[in-house]
Amino acid sequence: MSSIKKVIVVGSGIAALSFANTISDNCQVIIMTKKQFSSSNSMLAQGGIAAAFSAHDSVDQHVQDTLAAGCDHNDDKTVEEIVRLGKNLVDQLVEEGCPFDRNEAGMPQLGKEGAHTFHRILHAGGDQTGKTVVQFLKGKLGSHIHVYENHHVIDLLIHEGTCIGVVWKDEEGHVHTMTADAVVLSTGGCGSLYEINTNDPSVTGDGLMMAYRAGAQLVDLEFVQFHPTLLTIAGKAVGLVSEAVRGEDAYLEDESGRRIMKGIHPLGDLAPRDVVARTIFHEQQLGHSIDLNIQDIPHFSARFPAIDAMCQRAGVDTASGRLPVSPGMHFLMGGIKVNEHGETTVPSLFAIGEAACTGLHGANRLASNSLLEGLVLGSKAARRIEQLAVHQETIPSLSIQEIWSVPAMSEAQLRQWMTAYAAIVRDEKGLQTLLHELEHVSFQQTNVKNITNEQIELSNQWALASCIAKSALLRTESRGGHYRKDYPKRHDALWQGKQIVHEQGQIHIIKNERIGAKWNVYS
């Protein structure tokens, strides 16, 4: 038996890299990614990483802002821990020379985003924070970290309830297995379920459904975050226009120049994301076209070079001062339920990054808290796995799921249904229609040897769509990213601290005492 612990990490975003840079070289780490190393949502993150750096700011204030944005659905202890540890990890990145943008005094230049009390967003390359941090972390990987691109992990190997490895397909479609002492899912969320989204096309909910099939709990799937401002031309999303642009005084207006956020929320254009996205949606339903007015931002192209280049490619002249925008699916607050170490409810299976639900985000994520969470949870999962026992010598003969159900529909059809019935505004009728459509799709049984990677993704998306629809139907209230027009109010008496949990074909409502309790530091 080898005493070297072997860990498989699925995915290559910031959480995976934080994990890989933390774990000791007594462990051998295999990072498998189904496309290229750079195919992740982290690479696309524009705004930045939130951390309380300014003199007036504090970890406590950052905690309060996170709880307020999360609509009392956050796990209070997790929020405090991630925000506190995250600040230390960001400090460390700054000290190590991660090229964050700096001010004249040589300190990180801090931007502002929605629902933050202070300027606290570190950014890099203007609006290329994710890419810059990913490249920095990639450059630090040790020789015990091995990266395999085009390795599509399709399933988990489970023996006696414990995760012992993965099943993966190569580019030719051949099926392989690989065992490990622990598997870490860092596969992101499920932006591809919606017609307009900001995600990398490879983000198709695979990790969530692998975990689900393995018996892990999924929670909070009804909380889907729509980013308010995607550059949108003729109904087609071109790409994200960072909230940092509104942090530099851009504002939303309709075709007549009416400022649409006026009177809606005390924070105006920098209200929490769910509020802004819903307002734009509502205005669009009334027939208005919405623009982001950027005329008050000096040197736009220098501050936001990637957005400026995107506008140019799309034929939008930033000198006109107006960018046509629409909301688009951006982030899944729910995910694979994990504890503070990233452990799922299946032994030796971990989840980190957007795939995981730690309870940090509650019902609505505070802007720029996701890279922060990825850094912290990746690092904590690594420390936990270092303490685990090596179990590879006990691996029995392996059996894998041979037969897969592939729905007879296109990804475009699924997106159209999700966008129509489970997006920014939902109701019982629409969600029932969605479930009916999903349940009445015919499907074919396909052997794992013959199934294509695209069919696997579609099969996962189909199953996940149904879990989201069931969660959204059950939660008979509106909170954060889950808005029901038939239940437009928050209903604390019924729902405070309650979570909707999916587990192997079952759906339960549970009470989670760590959610929505009053944050006692301020009581």
Strand-pairing partners, residue 223, are: none
Q: Which of 21, 42, 46, 232 binds ligand SIN (CB under 6 A)?
A: 46
Catalytic residue from among 120, 246, 273, 475: 273
Query: Is 258 known to be catalytic?
Result: no
Q: Closest approach of Cβ 39 to ligand SIN, in Å? A: 18
Beta strands in 254-392 (DSSP E): 291-293, 322-332, 335-337, 349-351, 356-357
Contact by Cβ (8 Å): 241, 230: yes
Contact between residue 483 and residue 278 where contact means Cβ atoms under 8 Å apart: yes
**Shortest distance, position 179 Cβ to ligand SIN, whole Å:** 36
CB 506, min distance to ligand SIN, A: 32
370 near ligand SIN (CB under 6 A): yes
From the list 218, 225, 228, the residue with the least C-alpha distance to 187 is 218
Beta-bridged to residue 146, according to DSSP, are 30
Q: E strands of 140-244, at which residues?
A: 145-148, 152-159, 162-169, 175-179, 182-185, 218-219, 224-233, 236-240
Q: Which residue is nearest to ligand SIN (CB)?
A: 47
Select the residue interacting with ligand SIN from 13, 47, 189, 481 (CB under 6 A).
47
Q: Write each residue from 315 to 334 as x if it is in contact with ligand SIN (CB under 6 A), else as -, in one continuous string.
A: ---------------x----
Minimum distance, C-beta of residue 80 to ligand SIN, in the bound complex (Å): 20
CA-based nearest residue to 165, from 148, 147, 181: 181
Q: Is 263 helix (H, G, I), strand (E, B) or coil?
A: coil
Q: How far is the CB of 370 from ligand SIN (least distance, A)?
A: 5
Q: Which of the 8 DSSP states describes residue 75?
A: B
How many whole angstroms separate alpha carbon 429 and alpha carbon 115?
32
Q: For ligand SIN, which stretch binds (CB under 6 A), given 25-33, 363-371, 444-452, 495-503?
A: 363-371
Q: What are the residue ranges of helices labelled H in 388-514?
A: 411-421, 428-439, 453-474, 492-495
For ligand SIN, which is the closer residue by CB, 11 or 191?
191
242 binds ligand SIN (CB under 6 A): yes
DSSP state of 487: B
Count, residues in the chain: 523
Which among 64-72, 317-325, 340-348, 365-373 is the span making contact with ligand SIN, rule CB under 6 A?
Answer: 365-373
Q: Does 243 bind ligand SIN (CB under 6 A)?
A: yes
Q: Shortest distance, CB of residue 258 to ligand SIN, whole angstroms? A: 23
Instruction: Please check whether residue 85 is in contact with residue 21, taking contact to mean a CB–CB distance below 8 angstroms.
Output: no
**Rounded distance between C-alpha atoms, residue 63 and residue 483, angstroms:** 24
- Give yes or no for residue 368 binding ligand SIN (CB under 6 A): yes
Q: Does residue 367 belong to the site contacting ligand SIN (CB under 6 A)?
A: yes
Is 27 a binder of ligand SIN (CB under 6 A)? no
Size of the residue set binding ligand SIN (CB under 6 A): 9
Does 457 help bind ligand SIN (rule: CB under 6 A)? no
Indicate the residue among 242 and 358 with the shorter CB distance to ligand SIN.
242
Q: In the complex, which residues of this chain contact ligand SIN (CB under 6 A)?
A: 46-47, 242-244, 330, 367-368, 370
List residues with catalytic annotation. Answer: 273
